[in-house]
Structure 1
Amino acid sequence: MSPRASRAATGRAGRLRLRRGLATALRGADLLDRKLRLLLDREHTARRAAEEAHRAWDEALADADTWLLRGVLLGGERALARAAPVDRVRVDIRWAALMGVRHPAAVECAAPVRSTAEPTPSNTALAHAETAYRAAVRAAAELAAHQAAADLLAAEAERTRRRVRALRRHWIPRLQAELGAVELALEAAEHEEAVRRRWAAGRAGR
């Protein structure tokens, strides 16, 4: 029901339309409140997952840098160049939807498989560095996915919060006020009609 239609509502038909509109607005506000709670809860979960992924990324990156330095000190930069695989890590993102919000839900990282023609790391330190860097890449991908999910959910939560605020602070009170005015007008009209009927009945009796 539009504001113009609600302002023009009069009589019993208008009261019925206002009651239906008010019931719809109240039900909509309740549904939006539930949606907002779900969005905020999922956003909080994504934020915590992003924090854990950030810590894992920091630890894996520091560990990888340490092993890399040891490997380079043991074998030199030429050993590092020979040990690097040709293919890159492939990251796939699995998406999910919550209350109409599509967001990253999980990531899958496919590490490159070293072919028989490619040389293996010349020392144990470089092998450890390769494993640690793969873990860092996975943590970075998970961090990006969780952060993106949290941002998307937060944006939808803010839009939902504005809609709830508009309903509860403006639209619902307006409908309630208009419904009250229509009901008062109907009560006054019914009272006047009852007075006229009693007056007419009195005249008929005389």
Structure 2
Amino acid sequence: MSGHGRRAPTGRAGRLRLRRSLTAARRGADLLERKLRLLLERERTARRAAEEAGRVWRDRLADGDGWLVRGVLLGGERALAEAVPADPAHVEVGWEALMGVRHPATAAWTAPVRSAAERTPPNTALAHAETAYRAAVRAAAEHAVHRTAAELLAAEAARTRQRVRALRRHWIPRLEHELAVVELALEEAEQEEAVRRSWAAAPGPAGPAGRS
């Protein structure tokens, strides 16, 4: 949008071109401001979701650590090793797009499943620890999804804000000034033309005194 080296339009054609450019610039600024509002609203929602998921993550992790200590004291480390399922957890991230910004939106978490041959936790404390850790992993995945989404949306919002600022503070005022200059020049030219036509239409002096 830089105007360096740009020749200002003149005449009626230039006025029409400037009016069209100014209309397009104002419409573009309005659309960008609408985009900015939507981005900021979604960013705030994502940050609130990330904060809540982070709180759940920390709480469940602390619960799991507490139950784990009790379970190991009751059954020993061997009981812990035998109770861990072989199948790992799985996390699938769902993506969405908002105003051209692709960002993670959901986290589908699949808990590990024990086979019939695998042992279950040998004591209640380890069973509670497993439940707490599973909830912690689920919350951690949700926290990562929402935090990443907030960061991507915030980055795009910053770029959009810069574009709006460039339009509102620089490009639109420049077009308005150029249009005002062209319109003033056209108005003066039209006034001069009207005066010339008035003089040309006025009757000349009659009689010999008016002859050259």
Do the structures match in fold with TM over 0.5?
yes
Which 4+ runs in 1 deviate beyond 6 A? Answer: none
The root-mean-square deviation of aligned C-alpha atoms, in Å, is 1.6
Structure 1 residue 118: deviation in Å? 1.1
SS in 2 for 1:44: helix
**5+ unaligned residues in a row in structure 1: which ranges?**
none
Structure 1 residue 188: deviation in Å? 0.8
Identity of aligned residues (%): 72
AA partner of residue 180 (structure 2): G
The corresponding residue for 1:91 is 91
Counterparts of residues 33-182 of structure 1 (less than 5 Å): 33-182=33-182
AA partner of residue 75 (structure 1): G
- Greater percentage in helix: 1
Is contact 1:6–1:175 with CA below 8 Å preserved after alignment? Answer: no
TM-score by length of 1: 0.96
SS in 1 for 2:109: strand
Q: How many residues align?
A: 206
Greater Rg by CA: 2
Structure 1 residue 128: deviation in Å? 1.0
TM-score by length of 2: 0.93
SS in 1 for 2:107: strand
Is contact 1:85–1:118 with CA below 8 Å preserved after alignment? Answer: yes
AA partner of residue 185 (structure 2): A
User: What CA distance in whole angstroms lies between the structure 2 residues aligned with 1:180 and 1:143?
Assistant: 53
User: What CA distance in whole angstroms lies between the structure 1 residues aligned with 2:81 and 2:127?
Assistant: 13
Structure 1 residue 111: deviation in Å? 0.7
The corresponding residue for 2:210 is none
Q: Deviations over 1:143-168 (max 9, x none)?
A: 00000000000000000000000000
